[in-house]
């Protein structure tokens, strides 16, 4: 038994050292993989604009809203990009309701049926401006994009369901940063 104790202790010591090396190797390996992931561009699945949903049809977004837009806020030093295409707002497919039915976010059936990155859209004319109302398919709050011009720059004003403007997005990132601290609630 006395001869086994040093062997057992030596075995435990070697196992402990090999685990420490393994952990060290794994942490350096995960660090390098994190760096690769950070530098690699994420590849999100492309939205399926051909998918059919009951009571919805694909919406075509008016041309004055399309393009790459930029916005910022008082706490950001970088502008955030918003891309609007024929049928997408930042990779969310835009649909319009065609049937008379109520969308209910509490409905398990509807949550399954309307799963995916899809939104409801509606275009309106108000006070000589075009409004694009967008909301999550089962959501209750609209995000409104209103065509406009701010100090000579083409822009889209942003408002929530009530229509009160709270921000603006511009075609140029530098312009978005320039006006990031401006109080857009003063705009009518």
Q: What's the token pair of residue 75? A: 């706490």
Q: Is residue 48 part of a domain?
A: no
pLDDT value of residue 140 = 84
**88 and 168 share a domain?**
yes
Q: Is residue 47 part of a domain?
A: no
Rounded CA-CA distance 55/114 in Å is 11
pLDDT value of residue 42 = 61
**32 and 122 share a domain?**
no
DSSP assignment, residue 79? Answer: P
Q: What is the pLDDT of residues 123-172, one digit of tens each?
A: 999 888 899 999 999 888 899 999 999 999 999 999 988 888 999 999 99
**7 and 87 share a domain?**
no
Tally of domains within the chain: 2
Q: Tell me which range, 66-70, 74-78, 101-105, 182-186, is most confidently predicted by mean pLDDT.
A: 66-70
22 pLDDT more than 60: no
Confidence bin at 24 (pLDDT 50/70/90): very low
Q: Domain residues for 31?
A: 1-41
Q: Considering just the CA atoms, what is the radius of gyration of the chain in Å?
A: 26
Share of the chain above pLDDT 90, in %: 52
**37 and 96 share a domain?**
no
**22 and 72 share a domain?**
no
32 pLDDT more than 70: no
pLDDT value of residue 46 = 83
Rounded CA-CA distance 87/93 in Å is 6
**97 and 145 share a domain?**
yes
pLDDT value of residue 95 = 96
């Amino acid at each position: 038994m006395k001869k086994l104790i040093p062997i057992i202790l030596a075995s435990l010591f070697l196992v402990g050292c090999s685990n420490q090396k393994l952990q060290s190797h794994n942490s350096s390996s995960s660090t390098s993989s994190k760096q690769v992931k950070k530098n690699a561009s994420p590849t999100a699945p492309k939205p399926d604009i051909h998918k059919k949903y009951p009571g919805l049809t694909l919406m075509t977004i008016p041309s004055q809203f399309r393009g790459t837009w930029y916005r910022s806020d008082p706490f950001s030093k970088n502008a955030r990009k918003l891309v609007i295409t024929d049928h997408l707002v930042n990779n969310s497919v835009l649909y319009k309701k065609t049937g008379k039915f109520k969308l209910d976010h509490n409905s398990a059936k509807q949550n399954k049926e309307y799963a995916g990155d899809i939104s409801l859209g509606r275009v309106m004319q108000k006070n000589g401006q075009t409004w694009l109302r967008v909301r999550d398919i089962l959501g209750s709050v609209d995000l409104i994009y209103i065509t406009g011009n701010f100090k000579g720059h083409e822009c889209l004003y942003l408002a929530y369901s009530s229509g009160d403007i709270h921000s603006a997005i511009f075609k140029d990132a530098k312009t978005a940063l320039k006006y990031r601290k401006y109080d857009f609630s003063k705009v009518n």
